[in-house]
Amino acid sequence: MTHLVQLNDAPLALDDPGLLTATTYGHFTSMQVRAGRVRGLDLHLDRLDRSSRELFGHGVSPDRIRGHLRTALASSASADLSIRVTAFSRDKAFLDGPVEPDLLITVTDPIEPTTEPPRLLAVEHERAAPHLKHTGTFTLTHEIRRARLAGYDDALFYDRTGHVSEASIWNICFVAADGRLVWPAGPALPGIAMLTLQAGLDALNVARETVDIPLTALGDYRAAYLTNSIDPALPVASITTPSGTTQYGVDRESADQIATAYEEIPLQEI
C-alpha cells in the first residue's frame, strides 16, 4: 500500500505515516521532568497501565515504561524537560481483542508555571469517559478557544445538573470559609497533580473533602485553584457563570498550605 503525507503543497517525510491515524484512539500522560526526576511518577506509571488495560485489554509494565523514559532522557541534551507518553496501537486487532499497546514518547522543552491567575468561563460540557486521559481532546481545545474568543482565559466545565466537574486541562479545588480544601464530586479526570496534592495533604493531616459543588455555591468559597502537571496550584482570578461573576482574591494561607503539601511528596528518579 502506498502512503503519502503532504503538508500544504509539499510531501512530508514520515517513517511511519500510519502513526497519524493510529494515535487517534489511545490515552496519554504528561509529566514535567526536573533533573531526571518526576513528582508522582508512580501515579503516571499506574495511569498508563490501568488505562491500557481498559482500552486495549493489555497493560504496560512500569519497567517497560521506565526503560523507554530512560532512553528518551539519554537522548536529550538536558535532564529538565517535558515528556508525554501516548499509548495506542498500530494493530487493528485491538478492536476484537487484547493487544499490547505501542508507546509514543514525545520530549519537549520544560514548561514553566503560569504567572497570571486565569479568568474562567463556565460552560456546560461533559467529557466522554472522563476518568481517562484519552486522546480525544478536540472538545477541550474547542471550549478553550470559545472561552478566549469571549474574552476569558480558559473554560470551567459543569454538568447538566449545574454542578462543577473540572476545567479544560485541569482539576479545580476550592477553599472553604473554614480553610478546608474542597474538590468537586462531578465526573472528572483524576489528575496526577491533584492526587499528589491530596496525598501530601493527607500526610500532613490537613482536612480535605470531595463534595457536589453547584455553580450557585461558587461565591461561598474564598479561593480557587487549578491543578495539573505544569501548575500544581494556579490561583483562579474569577469564574463567570450564566448568572454572574465570582471574583477570588489572593489567599496566602491556602497557597502556603498547598505548596507545603505538594512538596511533601518527593520527586522520583526515572
Residue found under cell 478566549: 148
Distance, CA of 251 to CA of 179 (rounded, Å):
10
Size of the chain, expressed as the number of residues it contains? 270
- What is the CA 119 to chain-centroid distance, rounded? 19
Residue by residue, DSSP assigns 108-129 as E---PPP-SPPEEEEEE---SS
Q: What is the mean pLDDT of each run of 10 residues along the chain (270 residues)?
A: 76 80 92 97 98 98 97 94 96 94 96 95 97 96 98 98 97 96 96 97 95 97 96 96 96 95 96
Nearest to 190 by CA among 204, 207, 203, 172: 172
Look up the pTM and report it: 0.93
Distance, CA of 163 to CA of 159 (rounded, Å):
6
Report the pLDDT value the prediction gives residue 2, as an integer from 0 to 100. Answer: 62
Report the pLDDT value the prediction gives residue 137, as an integer from 0 to 100. Answer: 94
Report the pLDDT value the prediction gives residue 1, as an integer from 0 to 100. Answer: 55
Alpha-carbon distances of 92 from 18, 61, 88, 96, 97, rounded to whole Å: 11, 22, 10, 8, 9
Distance, CA of 51 to CA of 65 (rounded, Å):
14
Report the pLDDT value the prediction gives residue 15, as an integer from 0 to 100. Answer: 80
Identify any residues that bridge with 138 across adjacent strands, giving them in sequence order.
none
Domains and CATH numbers, the chain: 6-108 (3.30.470.10), 119-265 (3.20.10.10)
44: buried, middle or exposed (CB in 10 Å: 19+, 13-18, 0-12)? buried
Report the pLDDT value the prediction gives residue 18, as an integer from 0 to 100. Answer: 76
